[in-house]
Each structure stands twice: as C-alpha cells, then as structure tokens.
C-alpha cells in the first residue's frame, strides 16, 4: 500500500506541474473532478485506483472533507471493518448523489444501514441524501448519530447545520456552525454557511464578519458568481442602512467594498454618489453619478439621482434634463414628476410646474407635499381659490409631525380666504 501511495504522490506532482494550475478555481474544479473519478472507480470495485484519485483530490484541495471521508471508507475496507461489496455500494450511492439520482442513492443507503447501523461514513452520506431529498428530520437523525459517536467531527456538525438551515431551524443551525468553527477555526465552509444563516436573519454585521472570515481562509468565494454576489449584496445593503441612518462615512466604506466584488451594477455607484452628496463632497458625488450613467444608461434611477444632485447644487436646467430622461424611461414614478415640477416652479414657470405636479398626483394621491407645491404654484399665479383648495388638501394629508408646515398652510389659507371675502365684498359694493 505504501508503494502505491508513493507512486500516486509522484504522479500528483507531475500532473500539477504539467497542468500549470493557474488559480484556485482550477484547483477546486480538479479536486471535484478527481474525487468524482474516484467514486466511479470505487463503485466499480477498483479501490486501488480510487485511492489514487481521492489522494489527488486532496492534493488539489487539502481540506476536501468528502475526499477524506472516501479515503476513510477505503481504509476501513483494508482493515476489514467493511467488506468490498459494502464499500462498492457506498461509493455507488455517493456517485448517484453527484448525478442527482437521490432516490436511487437512498435505496442503496437504506439497504446498507441494515447491515452497518453504526458505521458513521454511511450515516454521513445518509444525511447528505436526506438533505438533497428535503427530508430534514431524517437527515438530522442520521447526522446526530454521527455526532454522538464523534462529538468532535466538524464535518458532521457542518452538514447538520445545513439541514437545520434548510429546515428553518435557524438557532440550531447557528449553534451547529458555531461548534464546528470552535472545533476547527479554519473551517471556511462553516463560516460561510453561518454567514448565510445570519443573512436570512437580516443580521448584516454578522453576515459580513463570517463571509470575510471565510474569504480570508479560502479566497475562492470571491471567484464564484453566486458567492461573489452574496458578499456584494451584503455590503451594499449595509451601506444602504448606514446611508439611511446618516452614517455616511460608514456607507462609503461599504459601497466601495461592494464594488470591489462587483462593479457591474449601478446601485452601489448611485449610493456612493448620494453618500458623498450628503457629505457635501460634490465633485466626488458627481463623479459617481456620471459613472452610474455610464454603467446603466437605461436605468431611470441613475438620471433621477443625478437630477437630485443638480437640484441641490442649483443647476436647474441640468436637473430638468435628468428628470425628463428619468420620466422617458419610467413614466409611473410620481417622484420623477414632482421633482420636475419643483424645477419649473423655481424657474417661475408655474403652469408647467402645475402640469407635472398634477401628473404626480395622478400616480400618488397620498403625497401631501405635491398638494403643497400645487398650492404654492396657484398662490404665485394669484389663483387663490385653487391655492386654498390645495392648501386644505395638504392639511388633510400631512402627518401631524409636520405641524409647522401645517400651521403655515392653515395661516396662509386663512389669509387668502379673508382676502377673497374682502375682495368679493368690495366688488358687491
């Protein structure tokens, strides 16, 4: 056996040299491929060949726990703990799992369990099978048997955590992942799995902490689209939270980190522009708003947000252009129309302002501030009967927290009514 291992070690080194593996993604791919080939050999009874494949998988990915498990099965065969037929059947069931033939794998495993009820590699594969079949309670029972026999086995805890997470037993999932990383502080997969649970709990700080730990232990997570997007999304969402709570410097850090993982989406770029706008760093704000337009020129939000920037920096004509572009891409957003109305109001073009405010009201009749702008527009046009109507609507729709604006509207409406009555009386005389 030792001669065989020496032979395969030399063979592994030759393959690594000849393949010129360039990055972690290739190592991972080759590890999965050679492990799969080992399962094929093992299912056909070529256990010596399978040994070489599993060791090669571990050469590519030293902490590949499934390959370690498969080597344990062969070791148990060599030590006569299981027989050749049982080893073949185990590898056959594992191969069926890879091929997504879960029910066939379950049938083989159920037969083996009657022969080997206490054999923990079998219970682990049984747990994986039940996870794939969404039989979470049965899967937990199988893996709990392993954990009772081997309480310091982080792989069994990791798999049970996955079952708990899939079965919505969130606190148990967190607990299992936490014990797994206590046993093995370098268990990147367990940190990542726990991060996914924290994400489902909307705990962004813990999500990011676990994702970053997993990433530091195994940078491969940044190279896969799904995992990359999960890290990106977590940073972007935490940045939005900071932006809403006024923590603009923290928001900038998170949006920048999100862009390190993926710079193809306009949302964090827009958000960066907004954070810098809130910090009054207008050059940077405009840079990111322009960048967002470059990334996604058919997204109305990029124009709307840049329009808000121009509005706040009193570049009215540029703001008008951007709000009009936003409307041309999405004519169902009342904010686009109301902001365009405001720009025309500031240019004292009250007829156009009223036109856009009414467009906004058609979309959202509950926006009190649009009624306020309509009242102001009619007031400036000296159409006081209309102004009174819209001041009243503003009063009706405005939350009481805006009592100062409500008082101003009440007072202006009172004065206009008084003036109209006086004007009417004078006319009658």
Summarize pLDDT for 233-264 with one digit per residue, the tens: 999 999 999 999 999 999 999 999 999 999 99
Mention every residue, 6+ apart, whose C-beta is less than 8 A from residue 166: 131, 134, 136
pLDDT tens digits for 312-330? 999 999 999 999 999 999 9
pLDDT band, very low/low/confident/very high, at 422 (cuts 50, 70, 90): low
Is pLDDT at 86 greater than 60 in this prediction?
Answer: yes
Mean pLDDT, range 354-376, rounded to an integer? 94
d(CA 21, CA 34): 14
pLDDT band, very low/low/confident/very high, at 400 (cuts 50, 70, 90): confident
Q: Which carries the bigger pLDDT value, residue 422 or residue 31?
A: 31
By CB atoms closer than 10 A (0-12, 13-18, 19+), residue 396 is exposed
Mean pLDDT, range 291-311, rounded to an integer? 97
The arrangement of secondary structure in 224-330, i.e. its CATH architecture, is: Alpha Horseshoe (1.25)
276 alpha-carbon distance from chain centroid: 24
CA atoms within 13 A on the CB side of 164: 23
pLDDT band, very low/low/confident/very high, at 9 (cuts 50, 70, 90): very low
Is pLDDT at 132 greater than 80 in this prediction?
Answer: yes
- pLDDT score at 424: 57
Question: What is this structure's pTM?
Answer: 0.84
**Residues 89, 95, 101, 106, CA torsion sign:** positive
d(CA 362, CA 87): 71
- pLDDT score at 190: 97
What is the three-class DSSP state of 429?
coil
Kindly report which listed range (7-11, 229-233, 340-344, 392-396) carries the lowest average pLDDT score: 7-11
* Percent with pLDDT over 90 in the chain: 81
Mean pLDDT of the chain: 91
Mean pLDDT, range 90-100, rounded to an integer? 96
- pLDDT score at 221: 85
- pLDDT score at 358: 96
pLDDT tens digits for 29-79? 999 999 999 999 999 999 999 999 999 999 999 999 999 999 999 999 999
- pLDDT score at 225: 82
Mean pLDDT, range 99-111, rounded to an integer? 96
What is the three-class DSSP state of 302?
helix
20 alpha-carbon distance from chain centroid: 34
- pLDDT score at 415: 87
pLDDT band, very low/low/confident/very high, at 423 (cuts 50, 70, 90): low
Task: Judge contact between 367 and 393, C-beta under 8 A.
Answer: no
* Percent with pLDDT over 70 in the chain: 93
pLDDT tens digits for 189-209? 999 999 999 999 999 999 999
Q: Where in the chain is the domain with CATH 1.25.40.10?
A: 224-330
């Amino acid at each position: 056996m030792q001669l065989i291992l020496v032979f395969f070690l030399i063979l592994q080194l030759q393959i690594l040299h000849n393949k010129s593996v360039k990055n972690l993604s290739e190592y991972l791919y080759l590890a999965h491929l050679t492990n799969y080939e080992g399962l094929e050999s093992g299912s056909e009874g070529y256990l010596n060949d399978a040994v070489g494949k599993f060791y090669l998988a571990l050469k590519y990915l030293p902490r590949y726990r499934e390959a370690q498990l498969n080597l344990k099965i062969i070791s148990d065969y060599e030590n006569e703990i299981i027989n050749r037929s049982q080893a073949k059947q185990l590898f056959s069931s594992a191969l069926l799992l890879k091929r997504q033939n879960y029910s066939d794998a379950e049938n083989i495993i159920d037969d083996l369990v009657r022969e080997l009820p206490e054999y923990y590699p079998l219970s682990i594969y049984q747990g994986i099978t039940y996870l794939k079949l969404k039989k979470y309670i049965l899967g937990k029972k199988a893996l709990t048997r392993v954990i009772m026999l081997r309480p310091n086995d982080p792989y069994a805890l990791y798999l049970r955590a996955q079952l708990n997470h899939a079965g919505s037993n969130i606190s148990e999932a967190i607990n299992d992942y936490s014990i797994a990383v206590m046993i093995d502080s370098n268990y990147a997969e367990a940190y990542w799995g726990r991060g996914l649970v924290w994400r489902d709990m909307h705990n962004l700080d813990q999500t990011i902490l676990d994702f970053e730990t997993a990433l530091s232990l195994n940078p491969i997570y940044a190279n896969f689209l799904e995992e990359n997007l999960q890290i990106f999304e977590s940073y972007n969402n935490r940045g939005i939270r900071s932006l809403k709570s006024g923590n603009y410097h923290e928001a900038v850090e998170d949006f920048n980190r999100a862009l390190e993982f993926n710079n193809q989406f306009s949302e964090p770029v827009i958000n960066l522009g907004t954070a810098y706008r809130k910090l009054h760093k207008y050059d940077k704000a405009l840079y990111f708003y322009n960048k967002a337009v470059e990334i996604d020129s058919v997204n109305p939000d990029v124009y709307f947000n840049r329009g808000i920037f121009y509005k706040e920096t009193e570049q009215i004509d540029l703001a008008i252009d951007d709000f009009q572009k936003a409307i041309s891409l999405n004519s169902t957003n009342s904010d686009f129309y109301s902001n365009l109305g405001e720009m025309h109001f500031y240019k004292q073009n009250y007829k156009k302002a009223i036109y856009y405010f009414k467009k906004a009201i058609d979309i959202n009749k509950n926006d009190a501030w649009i009624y306020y702008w309509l009242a102001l527009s009619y007031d400036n046009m000296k159409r006081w009967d209309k102004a009174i109507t819209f001041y009243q609507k503003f009063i009706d729709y405005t939350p009481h927290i805006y009592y100062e604006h409500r008082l101003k509207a009440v007072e202006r409406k009172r004065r206009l009514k008084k003036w109209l009555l006086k004007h009417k009386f004078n006319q009658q005389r």
